[in-house]
Amino acid sequence: MPPKRLIFAFLIYAILSGPIARGLSDGLNLNFLATLVVLQSSTLMLMLWLAQKRGWWDAVDTSTITEDSLQKILRNMLAGLAVFLSGLILTIRFGSDLRVSLLASGLTIAGGGWLLHATSRYLVWFAATQQNPALMDERMRANQRISEKWAFVGCVNTAVILGFIDFNGWVPLSGATVGFSTAIAGILAGLFSQYFLEWKDG
């Protein structure tokens, strides 16, 4: 279980995400949103720096983490994200049908819970790497660098494709749609490539 201060810092991070998401959907002032994003990113950076400096990671129980845990955690994150996004798309697409809407909401909540659990396990895994450097050795760092590149490629490609679609007027897209899609594509590409590389080395 991560220490309380770490949970508190993540809560601040999550709470700041709410107004950003709400602002994106309501089309709020861009300056206001940019300030929130900067605040949110600063909180995350400060939290990670403090966790490193104060040795909070050492207080985390990492006895359940083995060297094969990362692959399993990444698989769960991908699966959770896939279920979450499926539920979200179904909710938006078939929101008018009550039964489908209920099923889709259930899927979204289940996927979100799955993703949250996997993310908390990822944090525990990160804490384990601070206690045992062998869990994050040079091969895994090399894999991480490759997956960061794939995440960047995913972001750029998605932004270019969506920008091209909007530029040609095929489908009118808002900046929020492009930004959200780019972020999701980057996360998916990064997670999937890291999972694939770990699986390949397995």
- Is residue 201 part of the contact set for another protein (CB under 8 A)? yes
Q: CB of residue 101 vs another protein: minimum separation in angstroms?
A: 44
Nearer to another protein, 124 or 135 (CB): 135
58 is a contact residue toward another protein (CB under 8 A):
no
CA dist list (Å): 120 to 127, 140, 145, 149, 170: 11, 20, 22, 24, 40
Does position 202 interact with another protein (CB under 8 A)? The reply is yes
Q: How far is CA 102 from the centre of its chain?
A: 25
> Residue 136 and residue 143: Cα distance in Å, rounded?
10
CA 147 from chain centre, in angstroms, equals 14
The least CB distance from residue 113 to another protein, in Å, is: 30
- x/- map, 63-82, another protein, by CB under 8 A: ----x---------------
Query: Which string of x and - marks every residue 129-148 that binds another protein (by CB under 8 A)?
Result: ----xxx-xxxx-x------
Tokens of 98: 């009550």
Angle, to 10 degrees, between the axis of helix 4-26 and the axis of helix 175-201?
140
Interface contacts to another protein, rule CB under 8 A: 67, 133-135, 137-140, 142, 198, 200-202
